[in-house]
Structure 1
Amino acid sequence: MRRIFSLILLLPFLVCSQESDTTKKRNSFVVFPAISYAPETDLQLGAVGIWVLNNEDNFQSGFQRQSTLTPYFVYTLKKQSIAVANLDYYFPNGQNLNTAVRYYNFPDSYFGIGNDNDPDVSEKYTNRFFQVDGQYLIPVNEKVFIGGAYDAHFTNIVNVQEAGLLDSQRPIGIDGGNLFGVGPAFRYDTRDYTVYPSSGYFISSRIVFNALGDFDYTTYVADARKFINLKDKKHILAFQFRAQFTSGADVPFYKLPQLGGDERLRGIANASLYRDRQMMYTQVEYRRPLFWRFGMTVFSGVGDVAYSPNDFDLTEFKYIVGVGGRLSLIPDKQLNARLDIGVGRGGQTGIYIGVSEAF
């Protein structure tokens, strides 16, 4: 998908807070209409909802770990649709369910596999899939969690151009397929706040053995973050390193690690531009308030994809720099809407709209 321009308007529509009891614990719910346009989709209409629970009664007395539910739906004039519900729920005993349910009937672009694809050479196809993935974690203490991860993915690839790039290369998964994987998960979490942390560490890892269904491979993910409070919990320096590796010869192309998008190296022209069996990147971000409900951020990052870990070459790494604006949606929950503009290697650009921070 060659992004020319995308304008997304998020307008506050409804904000309500509910007092749950006399201790003044508050749950907040907000709904926004979403209107956007992109050349590949035409006009997009939808809605985004955010529900934040305070969770002050759970056993994590030293940390504010709030539960959030974020559903959204988008429909375009080209009859494309996407529906997603993200849930991050902390039970009173500290156990955590972090899961996402997704349905996509949406166009995508295939640029090939590798780290040197041309952003101007791609092919449109439609990826229809239903996915449920996430993890369930049990606390060992207030900082350490262990548990299991899962991924169920049911895919149908349609509208492939005859004799086109995708049809000619015929990567694994071109006919779609089903997979189900499970494996162990670990988390070390000392963030002072989950929605908008100002200090602490977040280190997580998981291994997913995809041994059921039409494919047989293993995914390894490691994610390490550090947050530094520079001044009054308002000026924050955030770091992240993330790696995703795969093993096994049977990885469908649409499940290969990808570089780019609204969370990883914002500034790469398309989230599908660079994909391969291995991926790693690091990024840093400075966040600060401005006035009223507005804030800003500046960020940079570097990373790449490769066929094997030995194939990473520092001279080929992709880099990005960018700036972003923030609008506080629920001030007492520190939940922001964000608009980020990134510039990448070779003059690539990306515009991103989202809710909550990239990491």
Structure 2
Amino acid sequence: MKHWQGWFGIFLLSLASISLSGCSSSFPSVMLPPPLPVERENNQVKSTLFPLPVMATDPNSGEDYGFLPVWVFPRKDKAIGMILAPSAIYNEVAGSSLAFRLLAYPSKETQYRIIVDQSTKINSFYEFSYEKSATQPQEWLYSVLFTYDADIFPRFYGFGNASSSSKETSYTSRNRILQGSFGYRITDNLELCFSETFSQISLSDNHLANLPPTASMFPGVMTDRRNTAVIHEIRCNYDTRDYKDTPTCGFLAKMYVQTARQDLGSDSSYDRLGFEFKGFQPWDSDDRRFITAVRLVGDFMTRESGTPFYRLPTLGGFETDRGYGQWRWIDRNMVAFSLEQRIDVFQLNHFGVVSHWEVAPFIDVGKVFPTFGKFNFHYFHPSAGIALRAVVRPQVVGHVEVGVGRGGDNAVFMGLGYPF
């Protein structure tokens, strides 16, 4: 009953957010000095505010309560130039967290992002990224990314598609990533990219009070508590979508190959390959208020030697199976499929910024498995639900995703971005 009360509260808060959405305001331009990419007129900067309440129920982290105001700033050409999205959120386990998010879009080809999210307890997240994309054939693209993520909420249930929820355990992870990539757009839709990633993950027995530590139930998997990987990746994308972050039509086919080797600086060796196919079909060509979105994803570790469990493919969470928590199932291989019908219910226009308010019923299904020889079409893990979203194209999505899994599992995810 508690979850249903939470969902009803989310519905009420979402209605309140919609009623307050699109509040227009101005700031003195000195508060947002160059080179921040915002339009300045008469020493003023105009913006549109989307106040989003936070009330989420995640199977792993529990209940979050707070506030996420999103300010959208146009640049001189009237496209979105910058987004400010601070937040204040309370979680019973992680404590109070304050976050600052700056997403900047100086031009159609470039963007950068700064995120600082610190809680009063262990959890923290820091990110800096810069990306220059290619919009025309025979152009180069490149990006750089740094993240630090300390998280007390990871879970381990054992390996395999049939791992039991009765064996749920908890640990704390700290993940540091430094990544650089460059690529080349070959045609209008085809690009090839190479990336180098330095990733260091460390674990500790600091665990949730209501769960046993992973080391007590699975001592074998916790012998390797620190792993450094230098990951080499080649990726090929075929992309016909109209927008990268908020597509209304088109198709994306992405395939990648990764390798990490001990003789090239990694603590363990593995080979990995994967694919992701996304399709977006509008059913009314004029305003595209009805869009069917599908996604098929596969992640396969074809060879591994001494690779710890926290580097294996996983199923569950906002991006793969929304009725369950992240890391619910772990094995060497994973496949997942999602289908949703996005319905544009109504639109608001403020200072030329158009927000689309969207409802999207969805179905997710997936499984993990040890080897290709043992793959079959039985025992997939389904979930279904509905999403409420506010979309400002081409970059902004605020979402509430309510998912129900088999066996009474359920989750509510809230934040920024599409699941796919």
Q: Which band: TM-score by shorter chain?
A: 0.7 to 0.9
Residue 193 of structure 1, CA deviation? 1.5
Q: Which moved more, 1:348-357 or 1:85-94?
A: 85-94
Deviations 1:19-52 (A, max 9, x none): 1xxxx36342111222333343133321233223
Task: Check 1:150–1:289 CA distance in 2 against 1; reply closer, same or farther (3 A cut).
Answer: same
Task: Check 1:11–1:158 CA distance in 2 against 1; reply closer, same or farther (3 A cut).
Answer: closer
Q: 1:187 aligns with which of 218, 232, 237?
A: 237
The equivalent residue for 2:75 is 18
Tell me if structure 1 keeps the 8 A contact 2:205–2:213.
no
2:171 is the alignment partner of 1:110: no
Residue 214 of structure 1, CA deviation? 0.4
Task: Check 1:11–1:157 CA distance in 2 against 1; reply closer, same or farther (3 A cut).
Answer: closer
Task: Check 1:13–1:287 CA distance in 2 against 1; reply closer, same or farther (3 A cut).
Answer: closer
Task: Check 1:132–1:234 CA distance in 2 against 1; reply closer, same or farther (3 A cut).
Answer: farther
Matches within 5 A, 1:151-170: 151-159=197-205, 164-166=213-215, 168-170=218-220
The equivalent residue for 2:21 is none
Task: Check 1:113–1:199 CA distance in 2 against 1; reply closer, same or farther (3 A cut).
Answer: same
Residue 13 of structure 1, CA deviation? 5.0
The equivalent residue for 1:41 is 94
Q: 1:74 aligns with which of 90, 111, 117?
A: 117
2:114 counterpart letter in structure 1: P
The equivalent residue for 1:62 is none
Residue 125 of structure 1, CA deviation? 1.7
Task: Measure the CA separation in 1 of the matches of 2:188 and 2:319.
Answer: 27
Residue 183 of structure 1, CA deviation? 3.0
Task: Check 1:88–1:302 CA distance in 2 against 1; reply closer, same or farther (3 A cut).
Answer: farther
Task: Check 1:322–1:160 CA distance in 2 against 1; reply closer, same or farther (3 A cut).
Answer: same
Tell me if structure 2 keeps the 8 A contact 1:322–1:340.
yes
Tell me if structure 2 keeps the 8 A contact 1:281–1:304.
yes
Residue 181 of structure 1, CA deviation? 1.4
Task: Check 1:51–1:79 CA distance in 2 against 1; reply closer, same or farther (3 A cut).
Answer: same
Structure 2 counterpart SS, 1:73:
strand
The equivalent residue for 1:204 is 254
2:314 counterpart letter in structure 1: Q
2:316 counterpart letter in structure 1: G
Structure 2 counterpart SS, 1:95:
strand
Structure 1 counterpart SS, 2:413:
strand
1:40 counterpart letter in structure 2: V
2:389 counterpart letter in structure 1: R
The equivalent residue for 1:249 is 305
Residue 209 of structure 1, CA deviation? 0.9
The equivalent residue for 2:281 is 228
Task: Measure the CA separation in 2 of the matches of 1:18 and 1:87.
Answer: 18
Q: 1:341 aligns with which of 378, 390, 402?
A: 402
Task: Measure the CA separation in 1 of the matches of 2:75 and 2:415.
Answer: 25
Task: Check 1:257–1:242 CA distance in 2 against 1; reply closer, same or farther (3 A cut).
Answer: same
The equivalent residue for 2:384 is 321
Tell me if structure 1 keeps the 8 A contact 2:170–2:214.
no
2:125 counterpart letter in structure 1: I
Tell me if structure 2 keeps the 8 A contact 1:2–1:119.
no
Q: Number of residue pairs matched? A: 341
Q: Which segments of 5 or more consecutive residues in structure 1 lack a partner in the other structure? A: 56-65
Task: Check 1:71–1:113 CA distance in 2 against 1; reply closer, same or farther (3 A cut).
Answer: farther
Residue 256 of structure 1, CA deviation? 0.7
Structure 2 counterpart SS, 1:316:
coil
2:148 is the alignment partner of 1:121: no
Task: Measure the CA separation in 2 of the matches of 1:77 and 1:91.
Answer: 40
Task: Measure the CA separation in 2 of the matches of 1:174 and 1:164.
Answer: 15
Question: Cα RMSD (Å) of the superposition?
Answer: 2.5
2:118 is the alignment partner of 1:83: no
2:132 counterpart letter in structure 1: Y
Tell me if structure 2 keeps the 8 A contact 1:147–1:184.
yes
1:273 counterpart letter in structure 2: R
Task: Measure the CA separation in 2 of the matches of 1:10 and 1:29.
Answer: 20
Identity over the aligned pairs, expressed in percent? 19
2:269 is the alignment partner of 1:219: no
Task: Measure the CA separation in 2 of the matches of 1:147 and 1:120.
Answer: 42
2:300 counterpart letter in structure 1: F
The equivalent residue for 1:239 is 294
TM-score with structure 1 setting the length: 0.86
Structure 2 counterpart SS, 1:174:
coil
The equivalent residue for 2:364 is 301
Flag the structure with larger Rg: 2
1:140 counterpart letter in structure 2: I
Q: Which segments of 5 or more consecutive residues in structure 2 lack a partner in the other structure? A: 1-57, 349-354
Residue 117 of structure 1, CA deviation? 2.5
1:148 counterpart letter in structure 2: F
